[in-house]
Chain A
């Protein structure tokens, strides 16, 4: 059963929150920010695997870029230290710039891909970078049952 929403406004007015799926962090490469690309079972009927994977992979790339240790980050670090970190009153850190890009990307993905399918991605920064929260909405008008909110069988357990 495909719930079609044509834009966010429609979603807002006629949808009710049915369930939330949490994509957990992938710590296999250390403490760098990376999310698991495992496809949760609740989304199987909602969105294509490829689209979902692409979204998560792009997000992971963004975070990798933010936390990349290289010439530019060293330069920024040394400059900041030399100015006793006062330089951050005038300019943003690279991390903050990337976070803005991420917010824009998530908004775009929501508008183009997820809202029409009755889903909503919450920016991980709102959840302390622990999870990507995907809210699943149900059309209030439809008489069908909500998508399976029965016990989740460890979709993100490793």
Chain B
């Protein structure tokens, strides 16, 4: 037994993973609760030369991490900064222009209460924005393979293989299979397309907060909007009071001259009050009936669906529902973003193939790095395909093999169809890759290149993410490849092309 005790170090509880490599390096795994984030486990002796990387750096979702993984947000954070600016600006103006008068003429408690409210609002906002909403980590390759095997073995049966039915408190709930995360989603979880993660108890993706709202940050979100409604009403009321009191003494126009900011504050607060108070009321209703925004919008538990349809998660009592949602236990983060990557830690299954092998670390990493640029290029490609489809309406065209041309570019080649002036921001990146030589090639062989694209890219998923040349190879590159056999146009592929091009346009507009 002493051997076992020797293997287990003192200090925080750790479990030594059985290392099956012949070098018998024991790499201790941290307990992945957030509290252990500060401790640094010793790195494996075999990897002493390499700086250990943290798990957030290879996180497969579309999130942004700051402060070495402590802060986690969505990709688009522009609206969040707007929220911050609005709140800080309005409150700042209130404290600067209105509070001196109110403190001296009415009560010093007013700025004090205002300050407390403001601090609470900011605290809740930052907490809601920066914390993990309850992201479910993607399946490891072994898990994914096991699930695939189970799905294949069920075959054609009721329910369809990629759904599972569970009975929760007498209500049948369907669990869907997530193709991205390769898991069966737990009840109430949903996949956020903006963040590309499955989130537990998914409420909605809030751009104002710059993050998804899910199980772990719902209460912060709710307290944020509740306290913000109080703050907005507070500022609105006291600015009006200030202006009224001052106007009685010195006249309305003089008041406006002395305190010009008050007008701005009143306008901002007036427009905010309706939306924020409305939202607070709506979420109060959701909490009291223990529903998520997602469920409410879809009408999952509405009476219209069926007479026996009821919410199985509700405790039946408004008070219990509220207390559970707001004061219930806070689960820890499941994704362990600050954990160090161990060499033998199973990485998530890559998206391109269903049953990944053991060493899928590199493709996942490459995938996440490439995705930004690749998405842009792919979207551009779909738009180009859409532009190309009118050309395919004519009779089937047999393509002659083109003469070989020397490759003029090493990297991804940007090749734009003639009439695409209105491409959004990503076009800027795409355009910079052009050069004169490519231009001449491109325009000269325009028509034939459209058709080349059609035959090479029948569907977006076939294009591998990690292609060094990007998703849009230059015609020059294509000439060097073995000329593909001539293809005949058929309506089925045209439909898929249309779908892809619509998808591409939607993607482009979201870039």
Q: Are A128 and B136 in contact (CB under 8 A)?
A: yes
How many chain-B residues does the 8 Å CB contact rule pick out?
67
Chain A residue contacts of B328, Cβ below 8 A = 67, 69, 73, 77
What is the 8 Å Cβ interface bit string for chain A, positions 95-126, against chain B (1 contact, 0 not)? 11001100110110011000000001001011
Contacts of A123 in B (CB 8 A): 15, 31
A13 touches B24 (CB 8 A): yes
Chain A positions 41-85 with a Cβ under 8 Å from a chain B Cβ? 66-69, 73-74, 76-78, 80-81, 84-85
In angstroms, how far is the closest chain A Cβ from the Cβ of B306? Answer: 20
Query: Taking the complex as formed, is B502 at the interface, i.e. its CB lies under 8 A from any CB of chain A?
Result: no
- CA separation between A24 and B186, bound complex, in Å? 11
Determine if B92 is an interface residue (Cβ-Cβ < 8 Å). no
Given that A12-B20, A100-B31 are contacting pairs, would A152 and B313 also be in contact in the complex, using a CB cutoff of 8 Å? no
Which residue in B7, B29, B219, B324 is a CB contact (below 8 Å) of A8?
Answer: B7
> Is B33 a contact of A99 with CB atoms below 8 Å?
yes
Residue of B nearest to A91 (CB): B35
Q: Is the interface of A mostly helix, strand, loop or mixed?
A: mixed
Q: Is B329 in contact with A7, judged by CB distance below 8 angstroms?
A: no
- Given A31-B201, A94-B329, A130 and B136 touching (CB < 8 A)? yes
A126 to B20, CA, bound (A): 18
Q: Mark A127-158, 1 if CB is under 8 A from B, else 0.
A: 11111010101000000000000011110111
Min distance, Cβ A100 to any Cβ of chain B, angstroms = 6
Contact between chains at A104 and B13 (CB < 8 Å): yes
Cα A128 to Cα B334 with chains together (Å): 5
Tell me which residues from 443 to 461 in chain B have a Cβ below 8 Å from any Cβ of chain A: none
Could you tell me if B332 and A93 are in contact, using CB atoms closer than 8 angstroms? yes
Q: Does B123 belong to the interface (CB within 8 Å)?
A: yes
CA distance A110 to B212 in the complex (A): 37
Task: Evaluate contact between B166 and A27: CB separation under 8 angstroms.
Answer: yes
B residues 325-343 in Cβ contact with A at 8 Å: 326-332, 334-335
Contact B34 A96 (CB under 8 A): yes
B4 proximal to A (CB < 8 A): yes
Residues of A within 8 A of B146 (CB): 20, 22, 152
The DSSP consensus for interface residues of chain B is mixed
- Shortest A72–chain B CB gap in Å is 9
- Cα(A107)–Cα(B324), bound, Å: 32
Contact partner of A100 among B8, B33, B119, B219, CB < 8 A? Answer: B33
Q: Do A103 and B31 have beta carbons less than 8 Å apart? A: yes
Question: Number of contacting residues on A, CB 8 A?
Answer: 63
Bound-state CA distance A31–B326 (Å) is 16
Report chain B residues within 8 Å CB of A156.
Answer: 150
Say yes or no: A31-B188 contact (C-beta < 8 A), given A22-B143, A85-B127.
yes
Please give the distance in Å from A58's CB to the nearest CB on chain B. 17
Whether a CB of chain A sits under 8 angstroms from the CB of B168 is yes
Q: Is A37 an interface residue (CB 8 A)?
A: no
Given contacts A17-B20, A31-B187, contact A66 B329 (CB under 8 A): yes
Note all chain A residues with C-beta closer than 8 A to B320. 69
Contact B169 A125 (CB under 8 A): no
Q: From B26, which residue of chain A is reached at the shortest CB distance?
A: A12
Q: Is the CB of A158 within 8 A of B18?
A: no
Chain B positions 1-34 with a Cβ under 8 Å from a chain A Cβ? 1, 3-4, 7-8, 13, 15-16, 18-20, 24, 26, 29, 31-34
Give the shortest distance, in Å, between B325 (CB) and chain A (any CB): 10
B166–A28 CB distance below 8 A = yes
CB distance from A157 to the nearest CB of B (A): 6
Q: Counting CB contacts under 8 A, is B120 at the interface?
A: yes
Q: Are B143 and A127 in contact (CB under 8 A)?
A: yes
Residues of chain A within 8 A (CB-CB) of B153 are 151-154
- B347 CB-CB contact with A under 8 Å: no
Contacts of A104 in B (CB 8 A): 13
Binary contact readout B142-180 vs A (1 if CB under 8 angstroms, 0 otherwise): 110010011001100000000011111100010100000
In the bound complex, how far is the Cα of B336 from the Cα of A99, in angstroms? 14
Min CB distance A34 to B, Å, is 11
Q: How far is the CA of A158 from the CA of B184 in the complex (A)?
A: 13
Residue with the highest number of chain A CB atoms closer than 10 Å, among B16, B120, B150, B175: B150
Contact B4 A100 (CB under 8 A): no
Nearest A residue to B136, CB-CB: A128
Contact A15 B20 (CB under 8 A): yes
Decide yes or no whether B139 CB sits under 8 A from chain A: yes
Q: A9 vs B17: C-alpha distance in the bound complex, in angstroms? A: 11
Given A85-B127, A127-B140, A152-B146: A93 and B329 interface contact (C-beta under 8 Å): yes
CA distance A123 to B188 in the complex (A): 24
Contact yes or no, B150 A157, CB < 8 A: yes
The 8 A-B residue pairs with the shortest CB-CB distance, nearest first, are A77-B327, A128-B137, A128-B334, A27-B166, A84-B123, A96-B33, A74-B327, A107-B15
Q: Which residues of A contact B (CB under 8 A)?
A: 7-9, 11-13, 15-17, 20, 22, 24-25, 27-31, 66-69, 73-74, 76-78, 80-81, 84-85, 92-96, 99-100, 103-104, 106-107, 110-111, 120, 123, 125-131, 133, 135, 137, 151-154, 156-158
8 A-B contacts (beta carbon < 8 Å): A8-B7, A11-B18, A12-B20, A27-B166, A69-B323, A103-B13, A130-B136, A130-B183
Contacts A17-B20, A78-B327 supplied; 6 other A-B pairs, CB < 8 Å? A12-B20, A30-B169, A96-B33, A130-B183, A153-B153, A154-B153
